[in-house]
Amino acid sequence: MTDLQKLFKLLEEGFRIIQIQFSFDKNRSPQQIVEMELKRGDERTTLSSSDDELISYAVHLHSIPHFEDDDSDFVYVKNTGKYFALQEIIVSLFTGKEEEFVICERNLGQNLPELIKKQ
């Protein structure tokens, strides 16, 4: 099980990340370390890792703004790529770059242009 999978497992078990810390240790390789503190009720646990995947995920989480929902410092976004895509959409809606923002697209059950061509 990778460290990222371990994190997802803890989250599924009801733990919430309450702190993320990044540090560097020049004496080891890889040098970057992420340390996550998790909480479930009164229970606490930590996850420390230099795994690229987990660091990348933690960097994303760290950059996501906090909504005041519970005691934690982070929101839990499973798909961080979607978060950044959403951010981009909102910026383009406000700047007027996005003028044609589709909210629904439906097709006819039958091919209308073909039916017309038959006439």
Rounded alpha-carbon distances, angstroms, from residue 71 to 16, 41, 96: 9, 11, 36
Regarding 98 and contact with another protein (CB under 8 A), the answer is yes
Regarding 69 and contact with another protein (CB under 8 A), the answer is yes
- Closer by beta carbon to another protein, 42 or else 101: 101
Give me the phi and psi of 72, to 5 degrees please.
Answer: -80, 165
Counting Cα atoms < 13 Å in the Cβ hemisphere of 33 gives 13
Regarding 22 and contact with another protein (CB under 8 A), the answer is no
- Residue of 9, 45, 76, 88 interacting with another protein (CB under 8 A): 76
Show Cβ contacts of residue 2 under 8 Å, excluding neighbours closer than 6 positions: 51, 53, 54
- Closer by beta carbon to another protein, 28 or else 82: 82
- Largest CA-CA distance found in the chain, in angstroms, rounded: 79
Q: Which stretch binds another protein (CB under 8 A): 2-10, 35-43, 47-55, 81-89?
A: 81-89
Residues making contact with another protein (CB under 8 A): 65, 67, 69, 75-79, 82-83, 86-87, 89-90, 93-96, 98-113, 115-116, 118-119
